[in-house]
Amino acid sequence: MGIIFTGPGFLIYIVCGLWGTFICFQIIADNFGNIIAIISLIIAPALLGLAPWYAGISHGDWLPLALIYGGGILATALVTIGFKIDEK
């Protein structure tokens, strides 16, 4: 029965992760160039951790931050609920 929550939770992880990575790659490529953007893919935590904050603070574009952090929090909540349901 917990699959009702864990399925969408894992789907949100995948969609928000890929979409957020693409958006953050574009942010870095637009501001710092393609070479730095390609290098930042190797250092993925910096790409996903700092680029959304940079876009929000300097450009007022809060979508990447909501997508990366909000999607992760929502997906974690759904997966946790699903695991708790299956536990009983």
44-80 residue pLDDT tens: 677 778 889 999 999 999 999 999 999 999 999 999 9
What is the DSSP code string of the chain? -THHHHHHHHHHHHHHHHHHHHHHHHHHHHHH-HHHHHHHHHTHHHHHHHHHHHHHHHH---HHHIIIIIHHHHHHHHHHHHHHHHH-
Between 47 and 24, where is the model more confident?
A: 24
pLDDT in tens, 8-17: 999 999 999 9
Between 42 and 70, where is the model more confident?
A: 70
Between 82 and 87, where is the model more confident?
A: 82
Q: pTM value? A: 0.82
